[in-house]
C-alpha cells in the first residue's frame, strides 16, 4: 500500500492551479466522489466474495438470489436461467441496502463510513 500522504500529494500536484476562493460546487463534487467510491467498494466486495468462495459467490449474493420463488421452483437451473439478470445493478443495490449482511470486513466498514458521510451531508 502506498503512503496515503504521497498519494494525496500526487493528486494535489496534478492540479494545474489551485485557487480555493474561486472553486465552486465543492460540496457537489464531494458527494459525487463519495457516491462513486461507494459503488466501487461494493463492486470490490462482490468480486472479493466471488473469488474467495468455492461456490463462486458469497453469502450476501446467495441471500439475494435465494428468493421464495427460487425455493418454490420446480427446476432450479431453469429458474436461474430465466431470472438472473444480465447485469449486477440490482445485486449492487441489494448490498447497499443490506450492509449488515456483509461479512465484517474493510469493505463493510468503508461502506458504513461513506454512507454516514452522505447522511450527514459532509
The contacts of residue 83 (CB under 8 Å, 6+ apart) are 69, 70
* Per-residue pLDDT at 73: 82
Burial of 18 (0-12, 13-18, 19+ CB in 10 A): exposed
Spell out the domain ranges in the chain.
Answer: 25-119
Mean pLDDT, 10 residues at a time, the chain of 122 residues? 91 88 88 96 95 85 83 78 84 95 93 94 72
In degrees and rounded to multiples of 5, residue 3 shows phi and psi of -65, 125
pTM of the model: 0.81
* Per-residue pLDDT at 122: 66
Instruction: Tell me how far the alpha carbon of residue 21 is from its chain's centroid.
Output: 33
Amino acid at each position: 500500500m502506498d503512503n496515503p500522504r504521497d498519494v494525496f500529494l500526487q493528486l494535489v500536484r496534478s492540479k494545474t492551479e489551485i485557487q480555493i476562493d474561486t472553486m465552486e460546487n465543492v460540496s457537489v463534487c464531494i458527494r459525487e466522489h463519495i457516491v462513486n467510491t461507494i459503488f466501487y467498494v461494493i463492486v470490490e466486495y462482490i468480486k472479493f466474495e466471488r473469488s474467495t468462495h468455492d461456490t463462486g459467490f458469497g453469502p450476501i449474493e446467495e441471500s439475494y438470489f435465494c428468493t421464495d420463488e427460487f425455493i418454490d421452483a420446480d427446476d432450479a437451473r431453469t429458474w436461474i436461467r430465466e431470472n438472473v439478470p444480465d447485469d449486477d445493478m440490482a445485486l449492487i443495490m441489494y448490498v447497499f441496502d443490506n450492509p449488515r449482511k456483509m461479512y465484517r470486513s474493510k469493505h463493510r466498514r468503508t461502506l458504513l463510513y461513506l454512507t454516514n458521510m452522505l447522511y450527514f451531508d459532509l
